């Protein structure tokens, strides 16, 4: 397995700021306090507030993961990556189902030295394999073959690897398999729960401890923290669970 004590300590938990607007986002950050150094901005907040909100978060010295899950023709995606690269975010998502040519165009755009000079840091591209809300029945509905879900995740991770992406998004159920086959890829794992609480719309969930024990490099947690009566306490509980070993939900 991939785990050393250092690995566990270094695995960041990105808190998903899945809220309606800037006011709610900053109220949440206030509640989370200094324990929160990593945030995820998704479609809801980005479409409401745009790049200015992202720049405000970066200015607070938070590490920002922009989860836009780009999916379009290669030229359009490459242009979007260039637009994002100047914002100073650390990571951006793109759908691996968009295909090799799209991923390669995105990777080339993200590696532009001129863009790094503009933002001061590299933009890491993460390829979403299969959303953690999808189960076996879901992939049949999507028209994918009868292969097990994990085989599709591994194939899509291979496309991300060959296109020289920084990493992939997968669930904690597949992370060990992905990291064993493609050790150079980083793995970001959503669908994180402590056990006992609601899975909400997630299908493939694991605990923080299980995810890191199986090789996750980054975790993302939303509702169990942001909708908790005390988000700060909830974040601490997730951070504590990181060190708690590999028990599954």
Ligand X SMILES: O=c1ccn([C@@H]2O[C@H](COP(=O)(O)O)[C@@H](O)[C@H]2O)c(=O)[nH]1
**Quick check: is 121 catalytic?**
no
Distances (CA, A) of 226 to 18, 34, 113: 8, 15, 36
Residues flagged as binding site for substrate = 18, 40, 67-76, 132, 193, 202, 222-223
Cα separation of 69 and 49, whole Å?
Answer: 17
Size of the site for ligand X (CB under 6 A): 18
Which of 223, 244, 248, 249 touches ligand X (CB under 6 A)? 223
Residue from 36, 41, 67, 165 touching ligand X (CB under 6 A): that is 67
Catalytic annotation present for 72: yes
SS3 at position 186 = strand
- Position 231 contacts ligand X (CB under 6 A): no
How far apart are CB 184 and ligand X at their closest, in Å? 21
Question: Interacting stretch for ligand X, rule CB under 6 A, among 31-39, 71-79, 219-227, 237-245?
Answer: 219-227
Please confirm, yes or no, whether 82 is among the known catalytic residues. no
Tell which residue, 173, 247, 169, 170, has the closest CA to residue 210: 247
Half-sphere exposure of 194 (CA within 13 A, CB side): 18
Q: Which of 10, 31, 34, 72 is catalytic?
A: 72
Determine phi and psi for 192, rounding to 5 degrees: -105, 125
Q: Name the residue nearer to ligand X (CB basis): 77 or 220.
A: 220
The one catalytic residue in 10, 31, 34, 67 is 67
DSSP string over 97-144: GG-HHHHHHHHHHHT-HHHHHHHSSPPEEEEE-S-TT--HHHHHHTT-
Query: Residue 47 CB: number of other CB atoms within 10 A?
Result: 9
Annotated binding site: 18, 40, 67-76, 132, 193, 202, 222-223
Residue with CB nearest ligand X? Answer: 222
- How would DSSP label each residue in 21-60? SHHHHHHHHHHHGGG--EEEE-HHHHHHH-HHHHHHHHHT
Residue of 191, 208, 209, 231 that binds ligand X (CB under 6 A): 191
Query: Residues 22-61: x/- map of binding to ligand X (CB under 6 A)?
Result: ------------------x-x-------------------
Q: Which residues are catalytic?
A: 67, 69, 72
Footprint of ligand X (CB under 6 A): 16, 18, 40, 42, 67, 128, 131-132, 169, 190-191, 200, 202, 220-224
């Amino acid at each position: 397995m991939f785990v050393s004590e250092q690995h566990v300590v270094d695995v960041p938990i990105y808190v998903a700021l899945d809220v309606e607007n800037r006011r709610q986002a900053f109220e949440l950050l206030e509640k989370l306090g200094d324990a929160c150094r990593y945030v995820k901005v998704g479609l809801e907040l980005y479409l409401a507030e745009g790049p200015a909100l992202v720049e405000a978060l970066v200015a607070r010295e938070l590490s920002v993961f922009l989860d836009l899950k780009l999916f379009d023709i290669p030229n359009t995606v490459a242009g979007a990556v260039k637009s994002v690269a100047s914002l100073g975010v650390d990571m951006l998502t793109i759908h691996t189902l968009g295909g090799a040519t799209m991923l390669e165009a995105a990777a080339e755009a993200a590696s532009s030295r001129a863009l790094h000079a503009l933002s001061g840091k590299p933009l890491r591209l993460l390829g979403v394999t299969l959303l953690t809300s999808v189960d076996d029945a879901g992939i049949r509905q999507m028209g994918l073959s009868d292969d097990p879900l994990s085989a599709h995740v591994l194939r899509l991770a291979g496309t991300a690897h060959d296109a020289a992406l920084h990493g992939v998004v997968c669930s904690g159920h597949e992370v060990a398999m992905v990291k064993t086959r493609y050790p150079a890829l980083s793995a970001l794992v959503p669908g994180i729960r402590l056990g006992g609480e609601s899975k909400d719309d997630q299908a493939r969930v694991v605990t923080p401890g299980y995810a890191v024990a199986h090789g996750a490099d980054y975790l993302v947690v939303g509702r169990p923290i942001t909708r908790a009566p005390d988000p700060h306490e909830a974040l601490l509980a997730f951070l504590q669970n990181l060190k708690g070993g590999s028990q599954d939900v």
